[in-house]
Structure 1
Amino acid sequence: MGKIILTGDRPTGKLHLGHYIGSLRRRVELQNAGGYDKMFVFMADVQALTDNADNPEKIRQNIIEVALDYLSAGLDPEKCTLFIQSQIPELAELTTYLMNLISVSRVQRNPTVKTEIKMRNFEANIPLGFFCYPVSQAADITLFKATTVPAGEDQEPMLEVTRELVRRFNQTYAPVLVEPEIMLPENATARRLPGTDGKEKMSKSLGNCIYLSDSAADVWKKVKKMSNGEPRMSLDEPGHLEGNAVFTYLEAFSSDEDFAEFWPEFKTLEELKAQYVKGGIGDGTTKKFLNNVLNKFMEPIRQRRHEFEQDIPEIYNILKKGTEKARETAAQTMCEVRSAMQINYFDDTELIRQQSERFKG
């Protein structure tokens, strides 16, 4: 069994820096490193509809936004397969079969599900589709026999559900499905980039995002409003790093080359931190530096996005071709699944022969 990577995003809005640091950057690195046999990246529109069922237009409009973000950030359809979840009907079929192998109480114990239900105020009226999405997610992973799933540590409970379902399916029927392993972000900052307010993680719903497609002017507006942690009364007071979103973003995005270009007074971020905590460096100055760093990083992405925007039909064509390719893999897996479950009635020539002999006798 080769190494197969699968990952994706809910198309509920444009992708932001939190997506990039948390997963998108790693995907591009994995894609370009080439140490895998297949790589699938998908837009989880079915999952997005579980809590947006009354607003399908939102999902419809954001498919293209996410696709543009993928391509402009560096995902290459020649190296990875980009597809749309809802266009793979085999996913719904496998989800149905996996539902028979897990209890309601097991899903209820999932801490990620508990958190998501609370965050969306679903406690009193949980949509069944939303409640069952851990099983749907397991189908996403197992249908493509993914061995590696790049994800945040908050998704580990979901991966454990998937592994349990794989073991149960293989024990009940035949060893067809593959147990996946999670690939966590490399450092704490990447695991959860805070929002511009310094609280929680960056989230569309919280309005604390910097989007990959934001203009330079928009980035500066958002950086100026960033939290610096504990307020200071004067420039001479020591600065505070704890809860300081500016320095968290600098840890994620700045390099020694950025200091040489934009702030040669310091050679490294560690030097800047050391001076900042002593006092004498204004928060406005650190924000200007961060703004330069972010816009230097984002400008090539903006330029590529603008180029891709000139031929939107081709973007849909890329997604169509990727989805067709993904369906080939999905169909092969489902053929094996049906055979293992003995529901491949029309393809099982031995079954037909046996039944024929039985009735002749």
Structure 2
Amino acid sequence: MTSQAKKRVLSGITATGSLHIGNYIGAISQWVDNQAEYENFLFVADLHALTIPEAIVGKNLRARVEEIFALYLACGIDPERSTLFVQSDVVEHAELGWLMTCVTPVSWLERMTQFKTKGKVADVDSGVGAGLLCYPSLQAADILLYDPDLVPVGEDQKQHVEITRDIAKRFNAMFGETFKVPDVVIRQSGGRIMGLDDPTAKMSKSTAERSPGHAIGLLDPLDKSRKAIMRAVTDSNSGVDFSNELAPGVTNLLTIFECFTATTREQSREQFDGAGYGTLKSAVADVVTDKLAEIQSRFHDIADDRDTLNKQLARGAERARAIASTKLAQAYRATGLRQ
């Protein structure tokens, strides 16, 4: 398959909190696996981190951004095969974000789960920033700048791709055919990894900062990671029983194991049916810590070589900008802002 024939993929992760195994399973590992099949544009979404400014007050956001960028590389993203960049390094994101905001009805933004849950709509007058409301229009710009065919996201982000599709269609209807309307791709297994302490809640970076044992960070010490898995919530039974409905915590552990070992639920049944929870947790801890050890070793090599890292940051931004600037110019001409 030639590069011209490949479908283009666009995806990114917001630079809030530390990356954890849920991010790895649900997003990064997919990016790594599909590098030969797709033309990937992958970014660190630092502008989106500003939508909750209190979450980054007193923190060096750029340092976190570069840590995430280095982790992408450590996890196996090849900058020769994928365009890897930081959102704020490509100014076209912010510029097209304004155009997208102007064509997006407020009612569309107000119905978004992100705003309803984090914005606490009843308290809008007490200081929630407009950025949280307009988050989806900037995310639409992130996507539409690159004319992607596919946008792989976690199950909970499907709504954001749907509104991007709606915004693209509205812009095209108002100003003429400008943007490709992308399709969403959701991982069938592992698209929603749950918290180890509460398997009814999605594993999240923000919760991990407040609740030790909730998530396994990609840079967590290996002994800490193992302890968190061994303490993971299961149920009151003594072991895994596939003849009955599995508890959420047990299902979550099995899903993590299957994603790290590229195995199926049927293979899990053969290996763990009737096994005690200690056996299951030990197996999960082994495969997770083995992978973390590999990632962390590569990460430290990458992060310690500042010259090479800075060159990769600059090269990724340049490659992304070459595509983004062309699309932004097209959007400007469509709206009449340019001849």
- TM-score normalised according to structure 1 size: 0.81
Which of 30, 38, 60 is matched with 1:26 structurally? 30
Question: Does 2:215 correspond to 1:215?
Answer: no
Q: Which residue of 2 aligns with 1:269?
A: 268
> 1:240 offset after TM fit, Å?
8.1
CA shift at 1:123, angstroms?
8.1
**Cα displacement (A) at 1:61:** 2.0
Out of 304-313 and 15-24, give the one that drifted further: 304-313
1:227 Cα deviation from its structure 2 partner: 1.3
Write out per-residue CA displacement over residues 190-220 of structure 1, whole angstroms, 9 at most, x where no aligned residue.
Answer: 1111112143111122221111222322222
Asked if the contact 2:155/2:192 (under 8 Å) is kept, the reply is no
Q: Among residues 14, 19, 23, which one is paired with 1:15 in the alignment? A: 19
SS state at 2:273 partner? helix
Distance 1:242 1:95 in 2: 42
Q: Aligned match of 1:251 in 251, 254, 258?
A: 258
5+ residue gaps, structure 2, are: 209-213
How far did residue 255 of structure 1 move?
6.0
Distance of 1:8 and 1:52 partners within structure 2: 19
Relative to structure 1, is the Cα distance of residues 153 and 204 closer, same or farther in structure 2, using a 3 angstrom cutoff? closer
| Matched-pair contact (CA < 8 Å) for 1:112–1:154 | no
CA shift, 1:331, in A, is: 1.2
2:148 is aligned to 146
Which amino acid is the alignment partner of residue 179 of structure 2? L
CA distance in 2, matches of 1:254, 1:146: 30
Out of 219, 225, 229, the residue aligned to residue 235 of structure 2 is: 229
What is the CA distance between 1:118 and its match in structure 2? 4.1
CA contact (8 A) 2:67 2:303 kept: no
Aligned to 1:101: 103
How far did 1:56 drift?
6.6
Cα distance in 2 between the residues matched to 1:104 and 1:304: 45
Structure 2-normalised TM-score? Answer: 0.86
User: Following the alignment from structure 1 to structure 2, what is the Cα–Cα distance between the partners of residues 239 and 171?
Assistant: 52
What is the correspondence of 1:1-361 to structure 2 with a 5 Å cutoff?
3-31=7-35, 33=36, 35-36=37-38, 38-52=39-53, 55=57, 57-118=59-120, 124-187=126-189, 190-199=190-199, 200-207=201-208, 208-230=214-236, 232=238, 241-243=246-248, 244=250, 245-254=252-261, 268-276=267-275, 281=276, 283-344=277-338, 348=339
Which residue in 2 is equivalent to 1:261? Answer: none
- Once the two structures are TM-superposed, the CA of residue 62 in structure 1 deviates from its matched residue by 0.6
Q: Give 1:319 shift.
A: 1.0
In structure 2, distance between residues paired with 1:88 and 1:319: 11
Question: Could you list the per-position Cα deviations for residues 34-62 of structure 1 after superposition, in whole angstroms to 9, with x for gaps in the alignment?
Answer: x33x3211111100111026627342221
Shift of 1:28: 0.6
Matching residue's letter, 1:45? D
2:211 maps to none
Is the alpha carbon distance of 1:172 and 1:239 closer, same or farther for their aligned partners in structure 2, counting shifts above 3 Å?
A: closer
Contact 2:15–2:48, Cα closer than 8 Å, also in 1: no
Distance, in Å, in 2 between the alignment partners of 1:120 and 1:317 is 46
Distance in 1, matches of 2:58 and 2:137, equals 22
For the residues of structure 2 that align with 1:239 and 1:186, how far apart are their CA atoms? 22
User: For structure 1, which segment, 62-71 or 310-319, has the greater mean C-alpha deviation from structure 2 after superposition?
Assistant: 310-319
Q: Given the superposition, is the C-alpha separation of residues 85 and 56 from structure 1 closer, same or farther in structure 2, using an over 3 Å criterion?
A: farther
Find the aligned partners of 1:19 and 1:327 in 2 and give their Cα distance: 26
The residue matched to 2:34 in structure 1 has which SS?
helix
AA paired with 1:206? T
Aligned counterparts of 2:197 and 2:326: Cα–Cα separation in 1:
47
**Distance (Å, rounded) in 1 between the aligned partners of 2:216 and 2:298:** 18
Q: Verify the 8 A CA contact 1:88 1:327 in the aligned structure 2.
A: yes
Partner of 1:354: none
Max radius of gyration: which structure? Answer: 1
